């Protein structure tokens, strides 16, 4: 990190290689579109390169990157503002009865249903849920990344879980 801050582009490339998978997964899970996720991740790394001098080392480099990627995803999602109603989600969910006995196919359909259900969450709920449930981050860390209180993060995650639980009922 220190070498990258001193302008060593190879050191920054190593940091990008180390963290690009996790950052892309966060963007993909948040935005639900591979192209948007690639764009958000690339923009985030560009922003990180430009702002390396502002990194003070008070938190882990990965936490700093998570915040940059999260902000890029929020901005992109707000710009396109596509949310899906619960009624539409119910129509889009594949029927669990139609999968037959093959558990692998059913698991794939469940994951597809979850991806659709995640699109129905508000951007703020989706980011908090992804950071907590899929990235395993703590409430305080998420709060710092998204710029709200821990209580607000807990509320967003609670509402996300409630909505996802409702939409995923057919899979129980």
Query: Could you say which DSSP state residue 93 is in?
Result: S
Across the chain, mean pLDDT equals: 82
pLDDT band at 108 (very low <50, low <70, confident <90, very high): confident
The model's pLDDT over 125-159, given as tens digits with 9 standing for 90+, comes to 998 998 898 888 899 989 988 889 999 999 999 99
What is the Cα–Cα distance from 75 to 14, expressed in whole angstroms? 27
Identify the pLDDT of residue 102. 62
What is the Cα–Cα distance from 139 to 73, expressed in whole angstroms? 19
pLDDT band at 18 (very low <50, low <70, confident <90, very high): very high
Nearest CA to 67 out of 80, 54, 82 is that of: 54
Q: CB of 30 within 8 A of CB of 73? A: yes
Q: Three-class SS of residue 128?
A: helix
Identify the pLDDT of residue 101. 55
C-beta neighbour count of 135 within 10 angstroms: 16
The model's pLDDT over 92-106, given as tens digits with 9 standing for 90+, comes to 444 444 445 566 677
Identify the pLDDT of residue 91. 44
Percentage of the chain lying above the pLDDT 90 cut: 30
Would you state the structure tokens that stand for residue 172, as one six-digit string? 């129980």
Identify the pLDDT of residue 7. 83
Angle separating helix axes 150-167 and 103-119, nearest 10 degrees: 130
What is the Cα–Cα distance from 140 to 154, expressed in whole angstroms? 10
pLDDT band at 81 (very low <50, low <70, confident <90, very high): low
pLDDT, greater one: 74 or 14: 14
Q: Hey, what CATH class is 83-172 in?
A: mainly alpha
Domain extent listing, the chain: 1-82, 83-172
User: Does domain 1-82 sit in CATH 1.10.1740.10?
Assistant: yes
C-beta neighbour count of 139 within 10 angstroms: 17
pLDDT band at 9 (very low <50, low <70, confident <90, very high): confident
């Amino acid at each position: 990190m220190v070498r990258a801050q001193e302008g060593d582009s190879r050191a920054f490339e190593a940091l990008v290689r180390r963290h690009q998978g996790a950052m892309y997964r966060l963007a993909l899970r948040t935005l639900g579109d591979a192209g948007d996720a690639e764009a958000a991740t690339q923009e985030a790394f560009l922003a990180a390169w430009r702002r390396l001098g502002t990194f003070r080392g008070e938190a882990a480099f990965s936490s700093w990157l998570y915040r940059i990627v999260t902000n890029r995803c929020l901005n992109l999602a707000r710009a396109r503002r596509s949310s899906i109603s619960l009624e539409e989600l119910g129509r889009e969910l594949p029927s669990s009865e139609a999968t037959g006995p093959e558990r692998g196919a059913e698991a794939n359909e469940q994951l597809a249903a979850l991806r659709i259900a995640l699109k129905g969450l508000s951007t703020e709920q989706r980011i908090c849920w992804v950071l907590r449930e899929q990235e395993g981050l703590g409430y305080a860390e998420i709060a710092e990344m998204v710029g709200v209180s821990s209580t607000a993060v807990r509320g967003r995650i609670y509402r996300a879980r409630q909505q996802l639980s409702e939409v995923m009922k057919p899979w129980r």
